[in-house]
Structure 1
C-alpha cells in the first residue's frame, strides 16, 4: 500500500499539494488527557493548518453517557458536520498536534458514519510545522454542506459484546495501552478504575506503531507488531484502550495492512475497569 491513501493516511507533502482542492476539508482533532491541562481549542485558535476546522472530541459525543467522548448519534454527527461545512463529496484530512494520537479517533468516527473519503495526516501538526509549512490563526470560511450518514454498527462494540468475545476467544481483543497498564502494575490515570486488562486480550502499545517523529510505521512493520503480540490477523479484532482514543490508532493500523474486520470497544477500560462485576486479569502474559 502506498503511503498516500486518502481513505487512511496521507503525508504532509500530499496535503500541501492538495490544499487548494475545492472539496478538501481539513480538521484539527487535537485532544489531550485531562491531567495535561491543555486546551486544544485555545491552541487551535492561536495556530492551525490553513482552512482547518476544529473538531471537539468531547463535545461531538453522546452527552447521555457518563463515559467520556462516546460516539455521538448519527443525527448529532450530521448536524455538527453541517455546521462545520463538512459533507458529502468532501475529502477530509484529520490531524492532531501530537503526530498520530487523537486524529485516528475522528477518522474512525467518520468511518463509523459511513464516510470513506477521510485520512489522517501522517505526523500531524508537529511534522507540518517542523517542515516550515504555513499556519494561520484565522477562522475558516464555512459553507453549509449536507451529509448523508450510514451508521456502521459492526464498527463499534459495547461491554456485553466484549464480554462475550473475552469468554469465547473471538473476536480477539487488542489493547492499545502501555504494557504496565495492561499488566496492572501501573495505576490508571483516571480515578476509580481497577488496574488490569480484559481477560484473554492482547497488548499492542500504540506507540509501538509509530516512528520517533510521530508518523505511522510502514505496513510491514505494523503487521509485525500485531503478529509479535500474538494477534491472528485472519480473525476479527476488537480494539480497546483507556477511553476509546488510542484504540483508533490500532484500527487505523489494521486498515493500513488491509484488514477491515475490526471494531472499537467504545467504553474501553474506563467502562470495564469501573464495573466491579467485570472480570479482569493482571500480571505479565
Structure 2
C-alpha cells in the first residue's frame, strides 16, 4: 500500500468501487497543443462509476481568466450535481497520470472536503493493472455538498504583489523551464514572457516519473535544487492555476503546511501592465 496519505493505488481502490460514501472523479484536462478531448475520452473509457469534472466549466462566471476558482456556492452546486458530498472519500484521477488531477484535489479540499486522494498513476495505471473499464456518460444521483471555504489556501493578485515585494513567501512556478525563463512565447495571447521576481522554477515533469509522484527523497532533492525549502511558506503558480497544484501536492506530501496557490497564476501576472517581470534563470534574492 502506498504510504503517501494523499495517494491511493489502483489495486487499493478497485475493491471499494460502488461503496456508499466513495466518489471517483475523472479530472482530465489538456492543453490545446496536446490534441486530446477530455470528455470524449471519459465517455470512451473511465474507472467504473466515475464522474467527469470539467475544469473549464466549474469556474467563476464572467472572469476574464481561465480556471478562476468559483464561489463556494457555485462549486457546491457543481459537486452536488456530480453526486459528491464533502463527507465522501473522493478519489481524483486524470488521463496523463499526474497532470490535472491535483488541481481538483486542491479545489475539493479548499472547499472543505475532508478526505480527498489522488489515484497513483492515474487512468494509465488503472489500465495497466487490467482493471475493469466503464464507458458512456456518468449517471450520478444528486447529492448535497456543504462548502467550508479555506480562503487562506488561495493567493490573489494583490497578495502576490506583496509577496514579490517583501519576499514573505517562496514562489514555486510549475511551468516548463523555457517559459519560466522567457525564452519562448506564452501560449496565451497578450501574456508577457518570463517570471515573477524571486520565483523559482519547479517544472511539473521534475516531480513525477511514469505518471506517478516521485519518492519523498527524490522530491526533497528536486526542491533543494530549485532553492525551495518545504519547511518555509510557499505559494505555487503555473500558467493558469492547474499544474501549480502538482507542486502543492508534492510539498504537502513532504509535510509542508503553510501553502497557498496563486489562482490567477502567470496568465494574470503576465497580462497586467504594471507587474514586474524577469527573464532568464532564477537568480534568488
TM-score norm. by structure 1 comes to 0.95
Partner of 2:225: 228
- Kept in 1: contact 2:86–2:147 (CA 8 A): no
Q: Work out the CA distance in 1 between the residues paired with 2:268 and 2:58.
A: 19
- Kept in 1: contact 2:4–2:253 (CA 8 A): no
Once the two structures are superposed, what CA deviation does each residue of 1:209-240 show, in whole Å capped at 9, x if it has no partner? 101x2111112211221122111223211000
Q: Work out the CA distance in 2 between the residues paired with 1:278 and 1:88.
A: 37
Once the two structures are superposed, what CA deviation does each residue of 1:195-218 show, in whole Å capped at 9, x if it has no partner? 10000011111110101x211111
Q: Work out the CA distance in 1 between the residues paired with 2:61 and 2:158.
A: 21
Secondary structure, counterpart of 1:108 in structure 2:
helix
**Distance apart, 1:36 and its partner CA:** 3.1
Over aligned residue pairs, what C-alpha RMSD do you find? 1.5
Q: Work out the CA distance in 2 between the residues paired with 1:214 and 1:57.
A: 20
Partner of 1:175: 173
**Distance apart, 1:103 and its partner CA:** 0.4
> Which of residues 224, 237, 240 in structure 2 aligns to 1:240?
237
Q: Work out the CA distance in 2 between the residues paired with 1:68 and 1:88.
A: 25
- Kept in 2: contact 1:4–1:11 (CA 8 A): no
Partner of 1:282: 279
Partner of 2:27: 29
> Which of residues 209, 213, 216 in structure 1 aligns to 2:213?
216
- Kept in 1: contact 2:230–2:255 (CA 8 A): no
Partner of 2:103: 105
**Distance apart, 1:143 and its partner CA:** 2.4
Partner of 1:198: 196
Partner of 1:254: 251
TM-score norm. by structure 2 comes to 0.95
Secondary structure, counterpart of 1:273 in structure 2:
helix
**Distance apart, 1:30 and its partner CA:** 0.4
Gaps of 5+ in 1: none
Q: Work out the CA distance in 2 between the residues paired with 1:279 and 1:163.
A: 9
Q: Work out the CA distance in 2 between the residues paired with 1:188 and 1:122.
A: 30
Partner of 2:3: 3
Superposed counterparts of 1:46-195, under 5 Å: 46-195=44-193
Q: Work out the CA distance in 2 between the residues paired with 1:18 and 1:258.
A: 28
Q: Work out the CA distance in 2 between the residues paired with 1:58 and 1:125.
A: 20
Superposed counterparts of 1:9-20, under 5 Å: 9-20=7-18
Gaps of 5+ in 2: none
- Kept in 2: contact 1:182–1:203 (CA 8 A): yes
The answer to whether structure 1 residue 263 and structure 2 residue 260 are counterparts is yes
Q: Work out the CA distance in 2 between the residues paired with 1:233 and 1:38.
A: 34
**Distance apart, 1:141 and its partner CA:** 4.0
Q: Work out the CA distance in 1 between the residues paired with 2:152 and 2:182.
A: 29
Q: Work out the CA distance in 1 between the residues paired with 2:50 and 2:143.
A: 16
